[in-house]
Structure 1
Amino acid sequence: MSTDRAHTVFVTGTGLAVPGLSGAADLLGTAPAEGGFDPETGLTGRDLRHKDRATRLALRAVGPALEDAGLHDADDGFTADPAATAVVVSSNTGNYDSVCGYVDTAALRGSRALSATGLPQTSTSGIVGWIAINYGLRGPTVGLGNGPAGGLDALHWGRNLIAVGRAGVAVVVGVEPHNDVVARLLGTTAVDGAAAVVLESAEHAARRGARPRAVLRGYGRAPGLDGAVRRAAADGPDGAGLLLVDRLPDEPPGTGRVLDLQARLGHCSGALGVLQCAAATAWFDRGGRGPALATAEGTDASVALLLAPPDAS
Structure 2
Amino acid sequence: MNRTEVVVTGLGAITPLGADVASTWEALLAGASGLRGDVLRGHEGLGLPDTVAGTMAVDPATLLPPVQARRLDRSQQAALAAAAQAWADSGAPEVDPDRLASAIGTGIGGVGTLLKEDDVLETAGARRVSPRTVPMLMPNAAAALISIEYGARAGVFTPVSACSSGAEAIALAARLIRAGEADVVIAGGTEAATTPITVAGFARAQALSGHTADPASASRPFAADRSGFVLSEGAAVLVLESAEHAAARGARVHAVLAGAGIAADAHHITAPAPDGAGQVSAMRKALAQAGLTPGQIGHINAHATGTPVGDAAEARAIREVFGRATVTAPKAALGHLFGAAGAIEALIAVLSVEHGVIPPTRNLTAAGIGPDIGLDVVAERRDVPQQAVLSNSFGFGGQNVSLVVTGARHRASRTAPAAP
Do the two structures share a fold, i.e. TM-score over 0.5? yes
* Corresponding residue of 1:186: 202
Residue 54 in structure 1 maps to residue 75 in structure 2 = yes
Aligned partners of 1:205, 1:255: CA distance in 2, in Å?
37
- The corresponding residue for 1:258 is 327
Q: Which runs of 5+ in 2 are unaligned?
A: 35-55, 209-229, 266-277, 305-313, 357-384, 411-420
TM-score (norm 2): 0.66
| In 2: Cα distance, 1:164 partner to 1:208 partner | 21
Q: Partner residue of 2:348?
A: 279
3-state SS in 2 of match to 1:105: helix
Instruction: Please say if 1:241 is aligned against 2:298.
Output: yes
Cα RMSD (Å): 2.6
How many aligned positions are there? 302
* Alignment of 1:12 onto 2:9: yes
Task: Give % identity.
Answer: 29
Q: CA deviation at 1:29?
A: 4.1
Query: What is the CA–CA distance in structure 2 between the aligned matches of 1:145 and 1:67, rounded to whole Å?
Result: 26
Structure 1: how far apart are the matches of 2:404 and 2:353?
13
Over 3 Å counting, the alpha-carbon distance change for 1:255 and 1:65 in structure 2 is farther
- The structural deviation recorded for 1:37 is 4.4
Structure 1 CA distance for aligned equivalents of residues 326 and 239 of structure 2? 25
Q: Which of 1 and 2 has greater Rg? A: 2
Pairing of 1:67-82 with structure 2 (within 5 A): 67-71=88-92, 79-82=94-97
TM-score (norm. length: structure 1): 0.87
Which runs of structure 2 are paired with 1:49-128 in the superposition (5 Å)?
Answer: 49-71=70-92, 79-128=94-143
Give the 5 Å matches for 1:222-233: 222=263, 223=265, 224-233=278-287
The counterpart of 1:146, out of the listed 143, 161, 170, is 161
Residues 185 and 43 (structure 1), Cα distance of their counterparts in 2 relative to 1, 3 Å cut: farther
Amino acid at match of 1:60: A
Letter in 2 for 1:302: N
Change in Cα spacing, 1:173 to 1:43, as seen in structure 2 (3 Å) is same
Residue equivalent to 2:59: 39
Alpha-carbon distance between aligned partners in 2 of 1:25 and 1:254, rounded to the nearest angstrom: 28
Q: Secondary structure at the match of 1:273?
A: helix
Tell me the residue number matched to 2:189.
Answer: 174
Give the secondary-structure state (helix, strand or coil) at the position aligned to 2:132: helix
Give, as a single letter, the amino acid of the residue that structure 1 aligns with 2:161: N
Where 2:11 maps in the other structure, the secondary structure is strand
Q: Which amino acid aligns with 1:275?
A: I
CA distance in 2, matches of 1:231, 1:267: 25
Residues 11-46 of structure 1, C-alpha deviations (whole Å, 9 max, x = no match): 11111111332416334442169xx94227745632
How far apart, CA to CA, are the structure 1 residues paired with 2:232 and 2:109? Answer: 12
Q: Could you tell me whether the CA contact under 8 Å between 2:12 and 2:236 is conserved in 1?
A: yes
Partner of 1:211: 252
2:130 and 2:165 mapped to 1: Cα distance?
31
Q: Unaligned regions of 5+ residues in structure 1, if any? A: 72-77
CA gap of 1:290–1:253, structure 2 versus 1, over 3 A, is farther
- How far does residue 263 in structure 1 lie from its aligned partner after superposition? 2.1
1:201-245 deviation per Cα after TM superposition (whole angstroms, max 9, x unaligned): 111101101122211222222322122212221243222112110
Deviations 1:41-97 (A, max 9, x none): 7456324221110011111111111111111xxxxxx63333321110111133112
3-state SS of paired residue (1:51): coil
Cα separation, 2, equivalents of 1:110 and 1:179: 26
**How far 1:266 moved relative to its partner?**
1.1
Mark the CA change 1:80 to 1:44 in structure 2 (over 3 Å): closer, same or farther: closer
Other structure's SS at 1:250 match: helix
From 180, 194, 201, the equivalent of 1:165 is: 180
**Amino acid aligned to 2:71:** H
Q: Deviations over 1:254-274 (max 9, x none)?
A: 666422122221122121211
The 1-side partners of 2:60 and 2:94 are apart by 30
